[in-house]
Amino acid sequence: MAEALRRTVLALPLMASAAAAAEPDAWSFRFPALEGGEHDLAAWRGRVLLVVNTASFCGFTPQYAALQRLHERYRERGLVVFGVPSNDFNQEAASAAQVREFCDAQFGIDFPLAAISRVRGADAHPFFRWAAVRAGGEPRWNFHKYLVARDGQRVRGFATRVAPDNIEMTRAIEAALAAPGA
């Protein structure tokens, strides 16, 4: 019996490290793409990721312009802006084609966009459930932002009212870009 207990105690660190290794990171998720196919977040491993739930017909929709500017300003340094259209707040277009047409015509968006997805509640996309646990909760409105560090583990949430070009946001992005990768 003592030998069995000793083996169990010795195995605990191995079991803990295996559990930690099984813990998902941001790179563990995939989203259907707006135009078909999918976005595998693992393709952006080692970059800084800004995931934003978006909507076409919201008072905060002008944030699309600032998101596009962030994308243009920081992409060469490793930032990926990723938009996730959602109708959770009843302010998104009815189809992927309408979302794409709106984003192109109004804002010239060329950062990647997911298909229309749920971002709140039990039916939320798994990434949003994962991020909500790590970054202060689920989106309370459109244009909630999750900034994911290069390691894919550290996540910081920004409420809707924090505009993408707000000094708090740009300082956080610059700090994440300056930090070493995983």
Are 135 and 109 within 8 A, CB to CB? no
* pTM recorded for the entire structure: 0.87
Residues 46-82: b if buried by 16+ CB within 10 A, e if exposed: ebbbbbbbbbbebebbebbbbbbebbeebeeebbbbb
φ/ψ (deg, to 5) at 51: -100, 125
Task: Report domain 25-178's class.
Answer: alpha beta
Closest CA to 140 of 157, 123, 155: 157
- Give residue limits of the domains in the chain: 25-178
Which residue in 41, 48, 50, 58 is the catalytic one?
58
- Alpha carbons 36 and 115: distance in angstroms, whole number: 8
Give the torsion sign (CA, 39, 58, 131, 108). Answer: positive
* pLDDT tens-digit readout, 154-165: 999 999 999 999
Average pLDDT of the chain is 91
Confidence of residue 23 (pLDDT cuts 50, 70, 90): confident
* pLDDT tens-digit readout, 56-77: 999 999 999 999 999 999 999 9
Annotated active-site residue 58? The verdict is yes
Residues above pLDDT 90, as percent of the chain? 86
